[in-house]
A = this chain, B = another copy of it.
Amino acid sequence: MSYRAPVDDILYTLRHVAGLDRLEADGLAPELADGMADAVLREAGRFATERVAPLNRIGDKVGSVLKDGRVTTPPGWRDSYRDWAEAGWNGLASPPEHGGQGLPNLIQSACIEMWNSASMAFSLGPLLTAGAVEALASHGSDELKRLYLPRLVSGEWMGTMNLTEPQAGSDLAALRARAERAGDGSYRIFGQKIFITYGEHDMADNIVHLVLARLPDAPPGTRGISLFVVPKVLVNPDGTLGAPNDVRCAGVEHKLGIHASPTCTMMFGDAGGAVGYLVGEENRGLACMFTMMNNARLGVGLQGVAIAERAFQQALDYAGQRRQGRAPGAAGEGMSPIIDHADVRRMLMWMRAQTGAARAICYLTAEALDRARRAPTPEARREAADRAALLTPVAKAYSTDIGVEVASLGVQVHGGMGYIEETGAAQHLRDARIAAIYEGTNGIQAIDLVTRKLPLADGATVRAAIAVMRETVNALAARNTPGFGQAAARLGEAVDALDRATAWMLAAATDGRQTEALAGATPYLRLFGVGQGGVSLAKEAMAALDDSGQSEQGRTARVATARFFAEQIATEAPGLERAVVDGAGAVADAARVFAS
């Protein structure tokens, strides 16, 4: 089965959970007047469904292939990418002064979800290009902006992020790539980078590498890293393409999934030095890179949502068609569709509920990013920026864990057919697996959450987030609608658990129990996601009940999904809290277990 973009569901979450309606009402999204949000998402959904989704299977089967230093993408990919870029999708949220459309991050995020559901390997290239645009727009010189941004925004050129080296993955302090001043204001770059996504390919006329390297006199560690633009083909002062740069692709990895996305080993400066141009200041490259990475983290979280949505659609479709056994109380003759069996229903509801929860968390993050730029006062912008910072690691890690878990359940719903590659369910699991690793492993996200994000504004940011969750729980309890079952009680317990675990974490961070906090970081992040996700689904369900424009089926589905999450998933919360607050001893013991 192919993918059908769930535009209506996405719009509902955008409006009623993630605050698109309020953004518009507050006058912070004038570009979206006259139904622009709906129009853009419907058109994106159509393109994703009709043009991108058909690329996914051949991309997996054929993959991108390196020969004589050049990478060829799978049949149809180049043309589809060019059509996609020509339709203007690449610059959706880019600054209008560089040719973009300047739409809110919320709209961009919804599109990113759809592109990635259609084909994660395809959509990864534009995700990196967006990061390059962001870094250049924020930190590049006027000349760099003039020469590079228009074509990166249009998608004629694509961007990459060159951080990783064999000895330097999560730990960028260990970077060794070198940069030398050339005397003319430019630099020469030398070194090897690995795991470079879309490092070399045939989809765009030029590839703009953003490369971290050290100057000869740079201090050691992360304070001695600079960021450079290193184009595959040199750009003349008039913007035309010149000679090839001293950059080459030395290998393409054989990966578990996203086969069509070329993961390259890149060699810079083998033949005398690759020409590079400084972005921002010398030795301040990491700050520039974080600009790219924060956005990319939300993008990767959306990949988790996207692959979960696609896996869910495929499993739901199969479960409605495949017949085996007879469900208790089945009417008529013959075998029942497996969707009528309680255990299959449980799996599908789990997939649906977790996908919806992760989607809500990602869109809430996008909305915070929009307010951080668009809110009228510095205080409001600062508050929103902190909220975005808090939510970003949760959006990345919770959603990508869910992506893997939902894709794995999708295989399970298919039974033996799920294990056969032709079915396509297994590809989703293979593709999904990388999202929990790249752009900062999910363990790194959890550490970021507890060590850097919880202390924001002395803990006020996270306390405010929990207070908002509690408002929704209280509204749900006050409403007392029978269809919600025990949802209010279970969500209340989940938010209480999150509240106590948060207080414990804040205390641990301030009184020197850093190792204890780190030991509980992963279950804490999961607990945060469970609380935020469950509350968001409840909020959406209540909005549907109050919305006269919503169909009976739409209401029922939203209430049941919120109930399922609360009664079947949020029930994990007290156990997660225990794992957080009691975890340090058991984890510390590991030092002795593995001592031999």
Contacts and interface: CB of A to CB of B under 8 A. Distances in A.
A343 B591 contact: no
Interface in A322-341: 323-325, 328-329, 335, 339-341
A354 interface: no
A159 to B, nearest CB: 19
Interface in A58-82: none
Nearest to A578: B571
B575 A587 contact: no
Interface string A151-187: 0000000000000100111110110000000000000
Interface in A305-361: 316, 320, 323-325, 328-329, 335, 339-349, 352
A481 to B, nearest CB: 13
A589 interface: yes
A579 interface: yes
Contacts of A519: 342-343, 345-346
A583 interface: yes
Contacts of A320: 594
Contact of A174 (B335, B420, B430, B556): B335
Given A342-B515, A587-B346, A441 B421 contact: no
A202 interface: no
A236 interface: no
Q: Which of A340, A341, A422, A576 has the most CB of B within 10 A?
A: A341
Given A171-B324, A320-B594, A324-B169, A349 B587 contact: yes
A557 interface: yes
A440 to B, nearest CB: 10
A553 B595 contact: yes
Interface in A391-423: 404, 408, 411-412, 415-416, 418-422
Contact of A419 (B256, B342, B344, B592): B256
A518 B342 contact: yes
**Taking chain A's interface residues, is the majority helix, strand, or loop, or is none over half, making it mixed?**
helix
Contact of A352 (B429, B483, B593): B593
A589 B555 CA distance: 12
A286 interface: no
A146 interface: no
B560 A255 contact: no
B408 A437 contact: no
Contacts of A446: 343
A411 B553 CA distance: 41
Contacts of A341: 443, 518
A280 to B, nearest CB: 24
Given A437-B418, A443-B347, A518-B341, A585 B563 contact: yes
6 contacts: A169-B324, A173-B325, A174-B335, A342-B521, A342-B588, A523-B568
Pairs of residues from A and B, 10 with the lowest C-beta to C-beta distance, nearest first:
A560-B589, A345-B590, A342-B518, A571-B575, A343-B443, A256-B426, A171-B324, A564-B586, A342-B519, A171-B325
